[in-house]
């Protein structure tokens, strides 16, 4: 499973990263984590608000810090 975190690297982006890792680890999911911080790359991905999370290249969260439980509910 691939997680992509989109954002500038701010505190909210870091918190979303931590929550995503926690959710995946709690479910025993092996994952790859990619962080996209370049503004042009974020815009090219169609992200209008950060932080954002994509799971396997599908944007599932945008413009908020989801809790670990919220992220876990998105993991199949």
Measured CA to CA, the distance from residue 51 to residue 26 in angstroms comes to: 22
Annotated catalytic residue: which of 13, 16, 24, 61? 13
Angle at 65 between CA 46 and CA 26, to 5 degrees: 110
Q: Is 73 a catalytic residue?
A: no
Is the CB of residue 58 less than 8 Å from the CB of residue 65?
no
Q: Is 13 a catalytic residue?
A: yes
Is the CB of residue 29 less than 8 Å from the CB of residue 1?
yes
Annotated catalytic residue: which of 2, 9, 10, 18? 10
List, by residue number, the catalytic residues: 10, 13
């Amino acid at each position: 499973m691939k997680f992509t975190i989109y954002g500038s690297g701010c505190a909210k982006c870091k918190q979303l990263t931590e929550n995503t890792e926690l959710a995946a680890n709690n479910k025993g999911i092996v994952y790859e984590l990619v962080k996209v911080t370049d503004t042009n790359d974020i815009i090219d991905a169609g992200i209008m608000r950060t932080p954002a999370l994509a799971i396997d290249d599908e944007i599932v969260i945008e413009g908020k810090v989801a809790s670990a439980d919220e992220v876990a509910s998105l993991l199949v």
